[in-house]
A and B are shown apart, each in its own frame.
Chain A
């Protein structure tokens, strides 16, 4: 059966001599995997349309439950500006890894597709003074869209004010709620009001005016560390792209 859809290439994996398996976030089928015959050959008709982050209109042949074959792929936007910028690409890789790890395969989510496409457009054209802040905001917004954003506005159980974030609960907890017998000795992170304000504005403000947020370095690194801990707990492992970034970022300062 031939189906047509539009999708964003999240990642590709070499298969056989010159073939690829591409993972797409599609507008109407959610995350899918598809097979492409010989795109790695220099004269392939696919050209660069299977490079990560490319937004393309694709035709697929075969059953959706099995691995369909990509028969055509026309680029709508290559987003090559992101791929050609080391920091942007590594930061977007974090989003892609979160998406692939926390989103079920084959469940349509139009809102997620539009959100991710919008993020790519914003990062591509952004002249954000603090690009690190923009990347952090996109991560927070993605977690909110897929339903895994941590709660930092008051205690997650009783709503009381609290500055102690518990990764195992995904929320801040007040001293009263945190000391129940079943929670004894659970690790937490002390955060400050600046982190909470920046986090709240990142979620509530429209992303196109996020450049008005001017967080300090400490706020950025504090919140970034909090999200890393939150994700490590959710995934039971560290994000590979996060480790990659922390290992190589010093070269690009």
Chain B
């Protein structure tokens, strides 16, 4: 490989998820071919996100300010909180455009075997928010896997004394798939959560 700087960039790029050495090489040569200002603007964007990005003090979404734009938006329904594991999950739910409430990002999921306890997540902050705010419903949108399910069960239990409605997003089949390829657990969950046709 030619020299230190290119090799250095390849090594740095391989740190990104899903990027192997071959892809990193392609990206490195693409960046080398980019106009100078575009490459610098990309580098500046990385520097800025590390300098300015932080967690919102209410919902723990990523923001530049103390409070994120979702928490300060007066048009949002302030009686509902949707609980997600990571900020990336929040973005996906926002893209659906059917949820207009607030969010709470846990920054992880409970895992007994990995020692991820409730104290390591933002669960206490959620309980405080529910106690202090005028919240009517908490929607748990953690991942539909064992860690997400354990987290959902724990949250539902700790929120019981607050008397708030706690709901869980539905389990089921992905749209566009064939039933014959679904496994029995997904299919049985889809049957359990079936809806009446309107």
Decide whether A and B are members of one complex.
yes
Interface residues of A (CB under 8 A from B): 11, 16-17, 42-43, 45-49, 51-53, 75, 78, 80, 83-84, 86, 89-90, 93-94, 96-97, 100, 240-241, 243-245, 247-248, 251-252
Asked if residues A248 and B183 are in contact (CB atoms below 8 Å), the reply is no
Bound Cα distance A243, B110 (Å): 13
How far, in Å, is A68 (CB) from chain B's closest CB?
Answer: 19
Bound Cα distance A240, B112 (Å): 6
**Given A16-B18, A75-B184, residue A43 in contact with residue B114 (CB < 8 A):** no
Size of the B side of the interface (Cβ < 8 Å), in residues, is 28
**Given A42-B174, A86-B154, A247-B118, residue A78 in contact with residue B113 (CB < 8 A):** no
Stretch from B34-42, B95-103, B143-151 forming part of the interface with A: B143-151
Q: Can you name 19 A-B pairs with beta carbons within 8 Å? A: A16-B17, A16-B18, A43-B174, A43-B176, A43-B177, A45-B181, A47-B186, A49-B183, A52-B146, A75-B183, A75-B185, A83-B149, A86-B154, A94-B112, A241-B113, A244-B110, A248-B118, A251-B154, A251-B158
Q: Count CB-based A-B contacts (< 8 Å).
A: 78
Bound Cα distance A89, B145 (Å): 13
Asked if residues B146 and A83 are in contact (CB atoms below 8 Å), the reply is yes
Asked if residues A251 and B157 are in contact (CB atoms below 8 Å), the reply is yes
How far, in Å, is B152 (CB) from chain A's closest CB?
Answer: 10
Residues of A within 8 A of B118 (CB): 247-248
Residues of A within 8 A of B117 (CB): 243-244, 247-248
Asked if residues A89 and B185 are in contact (CB atoms below 8 Å), the reply is no
Q: Which of B158, B177, B182, B184 contacts A78 (CB 8 A)?
A: B184
Residues of A within 8 A of B158 (CB): 251
Asked if residues B145 and A51 are in contact (CB atoms below 8 Å), the reply is yes
Bound Cα distance A96, B146 (Å): 14
Interface residues of B (CB under 8 A from A): 17-18, 110, 112-119, 145-146, 149-150, 153-154, 157-158, 174, 176-177, 181-186
Most buried by B among A11, A17, A51, A243: A51
How far, in Å, is B105 (CB) from chain A's closest CB?
Answer: 18
Residues of B within 8 A of A245 (CB): 112
Bound Cα distance A48, B113 (Å): 19
Asked if residues B113 and A97 are in contact (CB atoms below 8 Å), the reply is yes
Most buried by A among B18, B113, B174: B113
Asked if residues A244 and B112 are in contact (CB atoms below 8 Å), the reply is yes
How far, in Å, is B178 (CB) from chain A's closest CB?
Answer: 10
Instruction: Name which residue of chain B comes closest to A45, CB basis.
Output: B181
Bound Cα distance A251, B117 (Å): 13
**Given A86-B154, A251-B157, residue A11 in contact with residue B113 (CB < 8 A):** yes
